[in-house]
A and B are shown apart, each in its own frame.
Chain A
Amino acid sequence: MLQIESLSCFRQDRCLFKDLNAKVLPGQALQIVGENGSGKTTLFKILAGLFEEYDGRVITAAGSLYLGHRYGVNDQLTPVENLKFLLKLNEIQLAPGLLMDALARFQLSAELDQPCAALSEGQKKRVALARLILTSARIWLLDEAFSALDAPGRAVLSEVCQAHLAAGGILIFSSHQGIPEFAAAAQLRLEVGS
């Protein structure tokens, strides 16, 4: 479960949002909606535990995985090395076969042994997203995870997300494009300068 209680945040004397309330139960998705600069990324950072200057309460009852605009893929390492590192950060040890499967699911089989510097922006993002297939985190915080992906990539990602929800996971995401699969998800709207 993830619960937000009267959450307010000020940055540089500007009020980003005031009195946010939300409750997400296992198996539910929540879409954060708002214009550029309305504080979506800050909200994600608060939920992930990266940003602590806020009023109100955030209650998380499970481990979370945060993927932001910068998603931790190093240019010098290969996709496999990157993925292995990101998973080991949460002490997840895996058979190499599973890593390959996860990367194959995101159509990265051909790029396995080149450094990520040679990959496109969308492909790098897929490397980070492959982590979702293997993680044990119950709460996913995906800030603009659908951007920079092509249509097949978006399809794979929403499949993975739906499987996560079906298994009782929690999904918090933001997206400027409409994601048809999640059109029915609850929304939390942030207004600029509210």
Chain B
Amino acid sequence: MVTLGLSPVDWLVILVYFAFILGLGIYLKRFTRNQEDFFIAGRKNSSWVAGIAFLSANLGALELLGMTGNTYKYGMYVAHFYWIGAVPAMVFLGLYMMPFYYSSRIHSVPGYLKLRFDEKTRVLNALAFAVMTLLVSGINLYAMALVLHTFVGWNWDVSMWVSAGTVAAYVTLSGLLSAIFTEIIQFFLIWFGLFLVSVLGIVEIGGVGEVFARIPPSFATLWSTSADPAQNGMAITWAGIVLGLGFVLSFGYWTTDFLVVQRAFSARDLRAARMTPIIASFFKMAVPFLVIMAGLVALALARDPNSGFALLQDGGQINYDSALPLLIQRYYPTGLIGLGITALLAGFMAGQAGNVSAFNTVWTYDIYRALINPRASDELLLWMGRVTTVVGIVLSVGTAYWAKSFPSIMDYMQAIFSWVNAPLFATMLLGMFVVWITPNGAFWGLLAGMGSSFVLFLAVKFAWINPASITMSAVASDMAANFWRAWWAWLICFAVTILVSCFTRKKPREELVGLVKGLTAEKAAGSIPFIKTPEFVGIVSIIIFILLNIYYW
């Protein structure tokens, strides 16, 4: 099963990375003097730093391996995750939602819920987010150990404890600041480490046109086969893509998941915070060159019997995640293999650091200070952040061992995301743009949305209901069911929030100033040239997004 052998030069490249990020954590500790520095990196990052960190917090190795494998399985439709499944939501966050987040000087997304609604809504979301973050963090750690064991032959326990220990060390030293620094480094390592895979694949096959010519026609388009789910690789209709992925899952993740939004809170001013997701959207649109193109190259090679390329098999099942490691093995000589493995390791560890830095903030502000010690001093909060980092890492390792003994937990990953993020987006949307939504409406809507998402997941998984009743078509993949379940959870949360708000007490309007559209003064852009405003850059991003969709229609 082991496919990638490492030479001493490859090991040297990996060791340089570990030494570098630990050294960076030690260097940054001297600049982490108070809780503002630790939890929101002192609010001094430029839009470029925050923007690349915003993207990198999401660009984990699990995603790189998984999306390359998914492209092999589903074709070009996977690009929807990077384009309609990200870009409109990122631009919307920067243009319309960030002013409410950033101007209220909150430390976390649950902190906004406290200001806009009440304590119980904040605590509900904080607890759900904390559980989700630990589960995702632990499952990522398990996946990392599994990947390294399968493809590089490393010891399962050693690779998990060494990477978790390294993350614990540098995040404990300087909190979000070191998490953001390592995310920037991860971004460059991923591009430098994996860019050549696609380039060499295109060179071997004979050009991008030839790659598309060698795959099934239904795998080479984005929209033209979406009217009939039987005609495309993902077995989904355009409505499922637009409503489930493009609207609910995408907006739910990119505009409310504290893991990514926290990076924008670290920006030095409102304009930089608004530019953060918009700058990230340009890089997001470019990521398909790494993952989609690599997946298509793998598919084209696998269809050519003379290429000698075939994905690994586990118990008779194709291991789609093996596509990227096998391409690395095919093209990369000594030294570059070390760089490719370092890129994957950096992706895993930066994802781990992102999860734990979001967890320590939500625990410290939205659970510890809100429920346990409201009068905690600055020093105590900083201490609590450091302790929570170590505890979070230990709990993640525990979750990873649990996942090892219960591998089907991986199936629950999508359920976890749509459980927390999809309904929260309805709560946020109504909270920011509708004045008369009440605290009780938000709480019961959120609870109903979260509960319905989980029940629908169980109902489909254990065949309590026919999947066609939620996917609106007789043919549907697991992915299609995920998209549609998110849509229904969002709709239930949206409807219950409005219904309960009609019969419960509203918050005084003066308490909502700065938190809701219509009660918040619009700030003029000042002396910034129009081409440097978030509005202009956001429009450019949307135009490129539209052109990409038309080109690959």
Co-assembled chains A and B: no
Q: Which residues of B contact A (CB under 8 A)?
A: none
Q: Which residues of A contact B (CB under 8 A)?
A: none
